[in-house]
Every structure is written in C-alpha cells, then in structure tokens.
Amino acid sequence: MTIVFGSNRLEKQLTNATETKKAFGKMAAKVSQRMDEVRSFDNLHLLTKLPAAKCHALTGNRQGEWAISISGNHRMIFVIANDPVPKKENDANSIDTEKVTAIKIIGTEDYH
C-alpha cells in the first residue's frame, strides 16, 4: 500500500528507527511492526483482516478517518489517499476497501 504522511515530522517519527524510539519509547517496536504490516498489504481490505491491527473506520466527528491499534489505547490515525475515494458499485455510501491502495497517516494518539 502507498503511504503518505501528514507532515515531515510525522514521517520521520514513523520511518526512522531513532526518531521512532524518541517519539514512542517502549511502543517503538509496535509502531515499527504496524508500519511494516501496512506497507506489506496491497489494499485496505487486507489490512482490516489483520486481527492485531484492529483497523476500523471512525465515526461521529471523526468520520472519514480510520484507526489502527498500536497499543491498548494508542492508535495510528489515517485517511484514504485515493482520489476519488473508491465506492462500492451497489452502495455509493460504502467505501470499496479492496480498491483503496493509498493512505495518508495524519497522526498517532490516545483518543479514548
């Protein structure tokens, strides 16, 4: 999957081992693992099938955003970067996750 980042700082934190360790401390290994997993999948549908990632769409005031679990409460937040966002043929309100091949990571946080 193609990954873009919301900022240069975030990209460094998620792709450079030294910066990942500085930013996430004891969670650094899990962050690196999740990034490797995201890169390894061809589309969002496959990522949603990985139980440990708990990848899911957010709702309410966060509609349009998605989350991947890093730890118990900490999440990696992203939006779909395909333009236009692929929709299912029989339901224009549903995203066709099999056709989503690009995401934009916009942050990490504990939103619980």
- pTM for the whole structure: 0.93
Q: Residue holding tokens 């919301």?
A: 6
CATH code of the domain in which 24 resides: 3.30.2310.20
Count the domains in the chain.
1
- pLDDT score recorded for residue 90: 85
Q: What is the DSSP letter of 85?
A: P
- pLDDT score recorded for residue 93: 78
Question: Could you list the residue range(s) of the whole structural domain that residue 104 is in?
Answer: 2-110
Question: Distance from first CA to last CA of the chain, Å, rounded?
Answer: 27
Secondary structure percentages of the chain, helix, strand, coil, to 5: 40, 30, 30
pLDDT at 111 over 80: no
**Segment 39-84, tens digit of pLDDT:** 999 999 999 999 999 999 999 999 999 999 998 899 999 999 999 9
